[in-house]
Amino acid sequence: MSTVDQRVAALAPPRFTSPSVFSWVILVGFAAFFIQGFLSADVTLARMVQGFGNLGTFFAQAWPPDTSRLTPIAKAMLETVNMALVGVTFGVILSLPIALLCSSNTSPNGFVRWLSRMVVATLRTVPELVWALIFVVAVGLGPLAGILAIIMDTIGFCARFFSERIEEISPGPSEALSSTGSGRLSVIFGAIIPESMASLTATSLYGVEKAIRSAVVLGLVGAGGIGVELSTAMRMFRYDQALTIILVILVVVIGFEQVSSAIRRRVL
Amino acid sequence: MSTVDQRVAALAPPRFTSPSVFSWVILVGFAAFFIQGFLSADVTLARMVQGFGNLGTFFAQAWPPDTSRLTPIAKAMLETVNMALVGVTFGVILSLPIALLCSSNTSPNGFVRWLSRMVVATLRTVPELVWALIFVVAVGLGPLAGILAIIMDTIGFCARFFSERIEEISPGPSEALSSTGSGRLSVIFGAIIPESMASLTATSLYGVEKAIRSAVVLGLVGAGGIGVELSTAMRMFRYDQALTIILVILVVVIGFEQVSSAIRRRVL
Amino acid sequence: MNPIEVRGLQKHFGKVHVLRGLDFNVPAGEGAILLGANGCGKSTLMRCLIGLTRPDAGQIRMVETDVRQAGRREMKQMRRRVGMVFQRFNLVGNCSVLQNVLYGALGRHRLGILRVAQPLAPAEERDRAIHCLDRVGLADRAGQRADTLSGGQQQRVAIARMLMQGPEVVLADEPIASLDPRAGREVMDLLWEVIREEGMTVICTLHQLDVALAYGDRVIGMKAGRVELDGPASGFSADELETLYHGEVRVDGQPGEPGGSGTPQREPIAVAS
Amino acid sequence: MNPIEVRGLQKHFGKVHVLRGLDFNVPAGEGAILLGANGCGKSTLMRCLIGLTRPDAGQIRMVETDVRQAGRREMKQMRRRVGMVFQRFNLVGNCSVLQNVLYGALGRHRLGILRVAQPLAPAEERDRAIHCLDRVGLADRAGQRADTLSGGQQQRVAIARMLMQGPEVVLADEPIASLDPRAGREVMDLLWEVIREEGMTVICTLHQLDVALAYGDRVIGMKAGRVELDGPASGFSADELETLYHGEVRVDGQPGEPGGSGTPQREPIAVAS
Amino acid sequence: GPCPDTLRFADTGIEGMEEMVRAFGPFGDALGEAVGSEIEFFPVSDRTAAVNALQFDQVDIILAGPSEYAVMRARQDVQMMVGIERAEYGTAFVVHADSDIHSLDDLRGKEVALKDPGSTTGHIVPSWMLVEAGLDLDRDLNTHLLDGARFEALINRDVDAMGSGVRDVARLKERDPEGAYRVIAESDTMPRDIFVARGGLDEACVAHVNEQIMADAESLMDAILGPGERDKYTEARFVNDLTEAEFDMITEAYDLVGLPLD
Ligand SMILES: Nc1ncnc2c1ncn2[C@@H]1O[C@H](COP(=O)(O)OP(=O)(O)OP(=O)(O)O)[C@@H](O)[C@H]1O
Ligand SMILES: Nc1ncnc2c1ncn2[C@@H]1O[C@H](COP(=O)(O)OP(=O)(O)OP(=O)(O)O)[C@@H](O)[C@H]1O
Ligand SMILES: [Mg+2]
Ligand SMILES: [Mg+2]
């Protein structure tokens, strides 16, 4: 190799850069937790083999699905979709501004950002049952309390994912708009929202789906819905009825997923 | 205006393009559900005003948080984090290939894509309680069943969000890599994964947080954890203990969020 | 007072000292061409001028606003009067071409987006946008999504957006890099026509020395983060300009290594197939 | 047989008929320059050649492979032998420059990514990558993230990646658009040096007519989706090439409107401030 | 009548009353007609939520199990109404027939599946029975609140015994027809399910509703049970002889298991 070669080869970055303190902390922490968790799992093969045999018996109890209660189930499903849509719609409308406050590239300042992230994390952490209690106290039993609980849940989820996506969009277009001297809001609606539209729709529709799946909260506030049907069926050990309900939910979930990807195809 | 002006002005696209049939169906469907749901909510202001007064009394029951059981709570939290990390780790590892099969830009063909989306939707739709039952039958009570349930839940969630993000990355870099004649896998690991890394990390860490928050499933399979603590406190009307537990969860949730954004800052 | 005044401008990216004390003014109505090798800091300078990148030291006055001291309001007012054409176009990919051009008017309306969104924009703004598009030869593409245009077409849309803004000062970062020769001349003609008509002030980055000499009133040559040449275009020959690209042109050459890494080492590589 | 053979190639995007029956061959070892106005379909043609865009009709043979009929394996084998430099660089933004160049070798290794990932790549590949970078003058930037480079630097990295691939045929889409004049010449010198040494075949899109005439063995001129000029570079004057950019150059001019929208209408716009 | 125009009813998701909740529509209609108010029914699937709703006057009357009633009377102002007496209401401990556990005392050092926290027959009473048998819940054995998974856990022998509602014994055999099971302990007569009115509800109204229910007890129960589901409740009937003392054993049980209702 010529001397020039050696000079140039010396410019190659090392294969492994020693990880930063931060990476070490994360890695070691993860490993510690993971190993503890893994050991606690105590996987014994023999047990698993025998167990999987049992599954047949278990599933046999659910087959064939009992469709005798299909009409009330469908009605409950419809009610649930209605309430979920209302809750998620308001939730999404509220999530958008909150997400903008949470994102590093749209937040007015670090403190606001920190605060709104805390709020969102709290909304997410408070369990559904607690939301149910709070709203039952505040507005009484019934759909309204359920819808309010769904709104809280939606904000906790959507605001977080919206903000994540907003942080990931390429900064070019927003820089271009703000360099015409336009205000923050115009930049947001002119560049940031259009650029992240596909993701926002998908996340919102996932929110609806999520609200439907976790429709138990509607049961907690006496608003009925599919969640009550399912938990009743499970408690009565009517697995064949439960299967029917799960299948109905599955149809709706897939339906929302289809709508979601159809919209995305148009926007992306 | 000169004739040239008019010719040119005629090229302007119309202000409103009449929405497609698809848009109409979606819009009308949404409106119908939304209105029904909204009417069912039956918002009466008087009721709400009275109710909000009650909230003070309600919160007074939870204040001050009862920290007498902090040690067992912390221990339960730790166990939960352990199990959640193991479950989510495996869930994420499995989600990645599934997400690649689900995404329009990485799936080998339409049928595989459809099938894997169905599978993911099903994993998501089956309620936690059912997963708990299935795994109790299959592998017996204990952490293993809980971890398996978390894995299923994680796949249902992560695979969907991974695939969404993968569909949104800009096609340029992958086209560049595949035009060197490299195989699908190399393109995926060379361009698609690095490009969507920030989002994948954030989604995965959200997965951990989600698993911790919904740790009740661990209780259902006899694996203990923070979920049992919380639901016991709530069912026993020990709101002050419940508050302590929620605060502990909140600390962990915020911790994971901080780690998540620290990692994102490095990758983005 | 000159619309563009720069004093002792400094900028580091990490350890790389990109702008190393720049000083220059551009008087009103002048069309200045900024030349310099790749990576010498031209785009960074432009971004500092419009306040997108914060310099480390020095002073910038744009249309009488001190950019480093400006609050949000002053910054907005300044930016309204300064149009920028970005090197990488920065169009909003999934909006229509017309919408992208309408965005040029964003700063001008109090209600912002509510007055420039395609379905809401007043008829005169729409007409103006179509005319701006027509000037860059793309009026018939008004309804197409911006990201389905070819590279050169996107660059023209970016120029139309700047025209739509109707600024006093134009910062154009390689506005003709992806244009075909005729379109490039047309765009330069257009820019200079508008400058003359409106008395605009322009800084335009270019890599085409012939174009620079043909159009520029003034040439500012950057080299390794400093202004190396500065004077009326008529005072320079193409050969003089060429010196900007030779020797220590980079801002990151290892110090103490004369003739450093700026010159690529020529050594045939065995290119196996 | 020629490494590049195109017969009756047609491509529509929606209603826009972009490629309208192209026919040409490029024999081995020839350096052909592809000229044409913005939006005339040059990039689309390049993408068809390497199989990234599916044409509607016609035949394409690249290095003896029928691109439209090729299965996955054949397509991969063909692509291994054909290097592409994209108009918009298409670097992986959050990987290092070195990693981006190493990706050029992806197709060559059976284990793919496992043999070219920066920490795993064999020493000779790493050396080769550094040398390719050195050839474009960026060896000292090897460790930097690709998206922090300036526009021109990114373009050079894209060229280094192509060099790393060591292909038989090179498709370069405006490889020097964002390069400064010296870097542009150096890259063209480099390309032609490598062509000559390795007997490579090149199609290179350009908008600089002087460069086209100085370097091209052959010039292919496209206009409105068809090949309009085709012959040895020495046979054309700059004025002849200029005709490519005049008249009905666009692929989307409204039919039945002679002199259509290709020519921008010049009418001063009132640019209010 | 002395009652408001609409009476809001809820249930607390008590063990074994799911069928009844489903059939609440006809019952509500029949009762509404008798009482002269419109009955609005909220199927509240969680006892905490239902109890909370009653405390904050968001519901007028709830149908509660003994455990909930004991909690409510300790925490808030409530009025006792009529009750429902069911056959097969109580707690039983079940083990595999081939197991060597024959009494509660044999459960020392074993794993026991219970239902969910706060459940009368699935948590409070079985815990109380264990304490009565001289076992320390924290040290002498492991209890798991498994809810739905308690059957599977016993069938697979992940736990040695299950303490749950008496009706669960039949269910268990239904779930695992091949298995053989044995009951090792059963609770004494249990307090009955009870309708509870919020403290603020007019006493006259409470009395009126009680009266109307008892006057029409047979046909109201028919309305609840409906044709198909009938057999499961053949022995359920409305009763109006509940006393506070009846529920003292539950309060005591809460105390004994270390969850005092202060
Ligand atoms: N965000 C950043 N982080 C680190 N380095 C940067 C960043 N932005 C620019 N640089 C570096 O600063 C130097 C100047 O970049 P700049 O984009 O201003 O160059 P330029 O003169 O516009 O070049 P070109 O003609 O290629 O567009 C380059 O070496 C580049 O790598
Ligand atoms: N995905 C697409 N959808 C619709 N139209 C497209 C798409 N891609 C390209 N076009 C159109 O096809 C035409 C040719 O585009 P192409 O990118 O091939 O032009 P080009 O010759 O490379 O131009 P330039 O010199 O500006 O790069 C343009 O009019 C463009 O708008
Ligand atoms: Mg630049
Ligand atoms: Mg092109």
Per-domain residue ranges for chain A?
70-267
Instruction: List phi, psi (to 5°) of E192.
Output: -100, 165
The answer to whether C102 contacts chain A (CB < 8 Å) is no
Which ligand number lies closest to the CA of residue C222? 1
Distance CA C256, CA C246 (A): 18
Q: Which atom of ligand 1 is nearest to the CA of C37?
A: 25
What average pLDDT does range A262-266 have in this prediction? 82
> If pLDDT is split at 50, 70 and 90, which confidence band does D271 have?
very low
**Does residue E228 surpass a pLDDT of 60?**
no
Question: How does pLDDT run across A230-259, given as a tens digit for each residue?
Answer: 887 877 777 888 888 889 889 988 888 888
A140 CB neighbours in chain B (<8 A) are: 47, 51
Q: Which of D10, D13, D205 to mutate to test the pocket of ligand 2 (most atoms within 8 A of CB)?
A: D13
- C131/B11 Cβ within 8 A: no
Q: How far is CA D246 from the centre of its chain?
A: 23
Considering the domain boundaries, does residue D155 fall inside one? no
Query: Ligand 2 in contact with C150 (CB < 6 A)?
Result: yes
Q: pLDDT value at position B138?
A: 81
Testing the interface with B: which of A22, A92, A168 to mutate, by most B Cβ within 10 A? A168
Q: How many domains does chain C have?
A: 1
The answer to whether E21 contacts chain A (CB < 8 Å) is yes
Q: Provide the 3-class DSSP secondary structure of residue A239.
A: helix
Sequence-ordered list of residues with C-beta below 8 angstroms from that of E24, at least 6 positions apart, any chain: E9, E11, E41, E43, E224
Q: pLDDT value at position E233?
A: 54
The answer to whether the beta carbons of residues E59 and A141 sit under 8 Å apart is yes
Distance CA D194, CA D212 (A): 17
Q: pLDDT value at position B54?
A: 75
D and E in touch (3+ CB pairs within 8 angstroms): no
Q: pLDDT value at position E198?
A: 87
Long-range contacts, stretch B95-98, CB < 8 angstroms, 24+ apart: B95/B154, B95/B155, B95/B158, B95/B159, B95/B162, B96/B162, B96/B200, B98/B155, B98/B159, B98/B163
Q: pLDDT value at position B45?
A: 66
B15 CB neighbours in chain C (<8 A) are: 118-119
Query: Ligand 1 in contact with D122 (CB < 6 A)?
Result: no
State percent of chain D over pLDDT 90.
25
The answer to whether A46 contacts chain E (CB < 8 Å) is no
Average pLDDT, chain A: 83
Q: How far is CA B251 from the centre of its chain?
A: 19
Write the residue with the smallest CA distance to atom 16 of ligand 1: C41
The answer to whether the beta carbons of residues A137 and A146 sit under 8 Å apart is no
The answer to whether A16 contacts chain D (CB < 8 Å) is yes
Q: pLDDT value at position C261?
A: 38
What average pLDDT does range B79-106 have in this prediction? 90
Nearest Cα residue to D4 out of D41, D49, D43, D40: D49
Tokens 């320079």, located at residue = C236
- A176/C91 Cβ within 8 A: yes
Q: Which of A173-177, D174-178, D202-206 has the lowest mean pLDDT?
A: D174-178
Q: Which of B225-234, D155-164, E64-73 has the lowest mean pLDDT?
A: B225-234
What average pLDDT does range C88-104 have in this prediction? 89
**Interval between CA A166 and ligand 3 midpoint (Å):** 26
The pTM assigned to this predicted structure is: 0.87
Query: Ligand 2 in contact with D104 (CB < 6 A)?
Result: no
Question: How does pLDDT run across A21-71, given as a tens digit for each residue?
Answer: 777 888 888 888 888 777 777 766 666 677 677 777 777 777 788 887 888
Six-digit token string for E68: 């909930």
Q: Which of D12, D35, D42 to mutate to test the pocket of ligand 2 (most atoms within 8 A of CB)?
A: D42
> If pLDDT is split at 50, 70 and 90, which confidence band does D250 have?
low
Q: pLDDT value at position D60?
A: 92
The answer to whether the beta carbons of residues C49 and C6 sit under 8 Å apart is yes
Q: Which residue range forms the structural domain that includes residue C33?
A: 1-81+167-273
Write the residue with the smallest CA distance to atom 25 of ligand 1: C38
Residue C194: what residue type? V
The answer to whether the beta carbons of residues C62 and C4 sit under 8 Å apart is yes
Which ligand number lies closest to the CA of residue C225? 1
Question: How does pLDDT run across D145-201, given as a tens digit for each residue?
Answer: 898 888 888 888 998 999 999 899 999 998 888 888 888 888 888 888 888 888 889
**Interval between CA C63 and ligand 1 midpoint (Å):** 25
**Does residue C271 surpass a pLDDT of 60?**
no
Q: Which residues pair with E63 in a beta bridge?
A: E11, E195
Query: Ligand 2 in contact with C149 (CB < 6 A)?
Result: yes
What average pLDDT does range C120-132 have in this prediction? 88
Distance CA C67, CA C7 (A): 12
E48 CB neighbours in chain A (<8 A) are: 129, 133
Q: Which of left, alpha, beta for D194 (phi over 0: left; psi -120 to 50: alpha)?
A: alpha
State percent of chain E over pLDDT 70.
91
Q: pLDDT value at position C55?
A: 92
The answer to whether B13 contacts chain C (CB < 8 Å) is yes
Question: Is C143 buried (19+), middle (13-18) or exposed (0-12) by CB count in 10 A?
Answer: middle
Query: Ligand 1 in contact with C49 (CB < 6 A)?
Result: no
Query: Ligand 1 in contact with C35 (CB < 6 A)?
Result: no
ipTM of the complex: 0.86
Q: Provide the 3-class DSSP secondary structure of residue E61.
A: strand
B228 CB neighbours in chain A (<8 A) are: none
Query: Ligand 2 in contact with D245 (CB < 6 A)?
Result: no
Q: Provide the 3-class DSSP secondary structure of residue D144.
A: coil
Q: pLDDT value at position E229?
A: 52
Six-digit token string for E155: 């069938």
Nearest Cα residue to B204 out of B95, B79, B83, B80: B95
A218 CB neighbours in chain E (<8 A) are: none
Sequence-ordered list of residues with C-beta below 8 angstroms from that of D107, at least 6 positions apart, any chain: B180, B181, B182, D76, D79, D80, D165
> If pLDDT is split at 50, 70 and 90, which confidence band does C263 have?
very low
Testing the interface with D: which of C248, C249, C269 to mutate, by most D Cβ within 10 A? C269
Query: Interhelix angle for A21-41 vs B143-154, to 10°?
Result: 130
Q: pLDDT value at position B5?
A: 64
* Cα→Cα distances D98→B81, C221, D95, D139, Å: 38, 31, 8, 9
Question: How does pLDDT run across D77-101, given as a tens digit for each residue?
Answer: 999 999 999 888 889 988 889 999 9
Sequence-ordered list of residues with C-beta below 8 angstroms from that of E243, at least 6 positions apart, any chain: none
**Does residue B47 surpass a pLDDT of 80?**
no
What average pLDDT does range B63-86 have in this prediction? 85
Sequence-ordered list of residues with C-beta below 8 angstroms from that of E181, at least 6 positions apart, any chain: E94, E95, E96, E97, E169, E172, E173
Six-digit token string for C80: 């309204």
- A16/D130 Cβ within 8 A: no
The answer to whether E51 contacts chain B (CB < 8 Å) is yes
Distance CA E173, CA E178 (A): 8
Query: Ligand 2 in contact with D39 (CB < 6 A)?
Result: yes
Q: pLDDT value at position C250?
A: 62
**Does residue B220 surpass a pLDDT of 90?**
no
Cβ under 8 Å to D: B residues 147-166: none
Q: Provide the 3-class DSSP secondary structure of residue E249.
A: helix
Nearest CA in chain A to E55: A137
> If pLDDT is split at 50, 70 and 90, which confidence band does A4 have?
low
Q: pLDDT value at position B185?
A: 86
What average pLDDT does range D28-56 have in this prediction? 90
**Does residue D252 surpass a pLDDT of 80?**
no
What average pLDDT does range C120-129 have in this prediction? 87
State percent of chain C over pLDDT 90.
26
C-beta atoms surrounding D226 within 10 Å: 16
Instruction: Select the more confidently predicted residue: A7 or D116.
Output: D116
**Interval between CA D40 and ligand 2 midpoint (Å):** 7
Q: pLDDT value at position D204?
A: 92
A142 CB neighbours in chain E (<8 A) are: 42
Q: pLDDT value at position E22?
A: 67
Residue by residue, DSSP assigns chain C as: --SEEEEEEEEEETTEEEEEEEEEEE-TT-EEEEEE-TTSSHHHHHHHHTTSS--SEEEEEETTEETTT--HHHHHHHHHTEEEE-TT----TTSBHHHHHHGGGGGG-TTTHHHHSTTTS-HHHHHHHHHHHHHTT-GGGTTSBGGGS-HHHHHHHHHHHHHHH--SEEEEESTTTTS-HHHHHHHHHHHHHHHHHHT-EEEEE-S-HHHHHHH-SEEEEEETTEEEEEEEGGG--HHHHHGGGSSS--S-PPTT-TTTTTSPPP-------
Residue D103 has its nearest CB partner, among B8, B190, B197, at B190
What average pLDDT does range C125-135 have in this prediction? 89
Q: How far is CA C37 from the centre of its chain?
A: 15
Six-digit token string for C62: 């744009």
Which range in B121-135, D40-54, E98-112 is most confidently predicted, on average pLDDT? D40-54
Considering the domain boundaries, does residue D124 fall inside one? no
- Smallest Cα distance from E65 to chain B, Å: 14
Please name the chains neighbouring C, where neighbouring means 3+ C-beta pairs under 8 angstroms: A, B, D
> If pLDDT is split at 50, 70 and 90, which confidence band does C259 have?
very low
Considering the domain boundaries, does residue D139 fall inside one? no
Q: pLDDT value at position B44?
A: 67
What average pLDDT does range E202-230 have in this prediction? 78
**Does residue B60 surpass a pLDDT of 80?**
no
The answer to whether the beta carbons of residues C53 and C46 sit under 8 Å apart is no
Half-sphere exposure of A111 (CA within 13 A, CB side): 0
Q: pLDDT value at position E148?
A: 78
Q: Provide the 3-class DSSP secondary structure of residue E164.
A: strand
Nearest CA in chain D to B169: D92
**Does residue A220 surpass a pLDDT of 80?**
no
The answer to whether the beta carbons of residues C95 and C142 sit under 8 Å apart is no
Question: How does pLDDT run across C215-258, given as a tens digit for each residue?
Answer: 888 999 998 888 888 888 888 888 888 888 887 766 655 333 33
* CATH number, domain with residue D215: 3.40.50.300
Question: Is B227 buried (19+), middle (13-18) or exposed (0-12) by CB count in 10 A?
Answer: buried
Q: Which of C11, C12, C18, C171 to mutate to test the pocket of ligand 1 (most atoms within 8 A of CB)?
A: C18
**Interval between CA D149 and ligand 1 midpoint (Å):** 5
> If pLDDT is split at 50, 70 and 90, which confidence band does C45 have?
very high
**Does residue E88 surpass a pLDDT of 60?**
yes
Q: pLDDT value at position B72?
A: 84
Six-digit token string for E218: 């047979």
**Does residue C262 surpass a pLDDT of 50?**
no
Considering the domain boundaries, does residue D62 fall inside one? yes
Residue C219: what residue type? V
Please name the chains neighbouring B, where neighbouring means 3+ C-beta pairs under 8 angstroms: A, C, D, E
The answer to whether the beta carbons of residues D180 and D152 sit under 8 Å apart is yes
Write the residue with the smallest CA distance to atom 18 of ligand 1: C41
Distance CA B195, CA B190 (A): 9
**Does residue E100 surpass a pLDDT of 90?**
no
Cβ under 8 Å to D: C residues 191-210: 193-194, 197-198, 207-209
Q: pLDDT value at position A36?
A: 79
Nearest Cα residue to C57 out of C8, C6, C4, C18: C8
Question: How does pLDDT run across C153-201, given as a tens digit for each residue?
Answer: 888 899 899 999 989 999 999 888 888 888 888 888 888 888 888 888 9
The answer to whether the beta carbons of residues A150 and A217 sit under 8 Å apart is yes
What average pLDDT does range A116-142 have in this prediction? 86
Six-digit token string for A231: 């938990």
D117 CB neighbours in chain B (<8 A) are: 189-190
DSSP state of B156: I
- C193/D184 Cβ within 8 A: no
> If pLDDT is split at 50, 70 and 90, which confidence band does B36 have?
confident
Nearest Cα residue to E240 out of E83, E85, E128: E83
Q: Provide the 3-class DSSP secondary structure of residue E98.
A: coil
Sequence-ordered list of residues with C-beta below 8 angstroms from that of C21, at least 6 positions apart, any chain: C8, C9, C10, C58, C225, C226
* CB–CB contacts below 8 A, C to D: 163
**Does residue D267 surpass a pLDDT of 60?**
no
Distance CA A19, CA A21 (A): 7
Distance CA A72, CA A244 (A): 12
**Does residue E219 surpass a pLDDT of 60?**
yes
Query: Ligand 1 in contact with C48 (CB < 6 A)?
Result: no
The answer to whether the beta carbons of residues C56 and C12 sit under 8 Å apart is yes
- D139/C183 Cβ within 8 A: no
The answer to whether the beta carbons of residues E155 and E179 sit under 8 Å apart is yes
**Does residue B3 surpass a pLDDT of 80?**
no
Tokens 């949000």, located at residue = C72
Q: pLDDT value at position A151?
A: 92
The answer to whether the beta carbons of residues C4 and C169 sit under 8 Å apart is yes
Domain covering A70-267 in this structure, CATH number: 1.10.3720.10
Considering the domain boundaries, does residue D125 fall inside one? no
* Cα→Cα distances E130→D208, E140, E208, Å: 92, 10, 41
* CB–CB contacts below 8 A, B to C: 27
State percent of chain D over pLDDT 70.
91
The answer to whether A227 contacts chain E (CB < 8 Å) is yes
Q: pLDDT value at position B7?
A: 67
Instruction: Select the more confidently predicted residue: B154 or A18.
Output: B154
